[in-house]
Structure formats: structure tokens, C-alpha cells
Amino acid sequence: MFNKLIVYEALKNCQPRDSHPEEHRLTPDEQASLISLLIHDIFGAEILKTHLKKGWHFYNRIEGKRIDFTSSDINNNADETNFEDIPSTPDETYSYFEDEEYSTFLMRFIRAFEEAVGLDNYRPEAAAS
């Protein structure tokens, strides 16, 4: 079972700290596309998008539920917004950020997630294989 609260906490803990002003800050569009790809790559979630005034917004669907990890209220399951749920691809999300940004974010997320629960404990069926 996917635990979105644990994932959300790990995502919060892997964001660049204000103490590193020289680090590139992702725009909201970059962050949404990067997070949706990360959730796809690690947990197998679908990548979805919806058109907003400023452009495309990326998010996920996992276990049949829409989840927007860039939402300020993770408990709302992103149901209050009028999402179009247009299928997207990993290749499309890559156009919003650099490979190095993804690699750095992925490693930060893995560290934060392991600190929270440990990858082996989260998906025991993967560890047993």
C-alpha cells in the first residue's frame, strides 16, 4: 500500500535548504514535473497533466487515486481542482528540468525516505525477490 504521507514528508525533507542560496531553486512547474517523474520512477505511478493558465501542471495517479505532491494540502487528494487527467510520459516531464537536477533530487529523496522508513521496510515484496 502506498503511504502518501510518508512520501510527502520525504519530499519536504529533500528540498534545498535556505542556507544554500547558491543552489538553483526550481520553479513550481519544474518542481511539479520533477516530482511527478520521481514518483513514477520509484513507485510506478502514472504521470498525468492538466493545463493551467501558465502552462502544463504535472501530478500522479497511484492505486487509482490522483495525488499532487506540490499541493499545499496533501490530504485533499487533489480532488477539489478541475484536473483534466491527461496522460503524460516521462520524456515530456524531462523538458522542464536538467538531468543533473533530477539525479540530485532523486538521491536526496532516497536518503530522506530511507531515514523515514527504509526502502526495504516500505516495499518488502521487492526485498524478498
Question: Is residue 118 in some structural domain?
Answer: yes
Residue 60 has φ and ψ, to the nearest 5°, of -130, 165
Cell for 125? 515484496
pLDDT at 81: 63
For residue 49, what are the contacts with CB-CB under 8 A and spacing of at least 6?
56, 57, 58, 59, 84, 86, 88, 92
Question: Is residue 18 in some structural domain?
Answer: no
Q: What is the pLDDT of residues 66-79, one digit of tens each?
A: 999 987 655 554 44
User: What's the structural domain count of the chain?
Assistant: 1
Question: Is residue 93 in some structural domain?
Answer: yes
How many percent of the chain have pLDDT more than 90? Answer: 43
Q: Reduced to 3 states, what is the DSSP secondary structure of residue 85?
A: coil
Q: What is the mean pLDDT of residues 10-15?
A: 85
**Residues in the chain, overall count:** 129
Question: Is residue 19 in some structural domain?
Answer: no
Question: Is residue 114 in some structural domain?
Answer: yes
pLDDT at 53: 86
Question: Is residue 20 in some structural domain?
Answer: no
Question: Is residue 23 in some structural domain?
Answer: no
Can you give the residue range of the structural domain that contains 103?
4-13+28-128
Question: Is residue 97 in some structural domain?
Answer: yes
pLDDT at 121: 57
Q: Are 8 and 74 in contact (CB under 8 A)?
A: yes
What does pTM read for this prediction? 0.79
Mean pLDDT of the chain: 81
> Between 64 and 1, whose confidence is greater?
64
Q: What is the pLDDT of residues 33-81, one digit of tens each?
A: 999 999 999 999 999 999 988 889 999 999 999 999 987 655 554 445 6
**Helix H segments across 44-98?**
90-94
Question: Is pLDDT at 127 greater than 50 in this prediction?
Answer: no
Q: What is the mean pLDDT of residues 7-27?
A: 73
Q: What is the mean pLDDT of residues 99-123?
A: 81
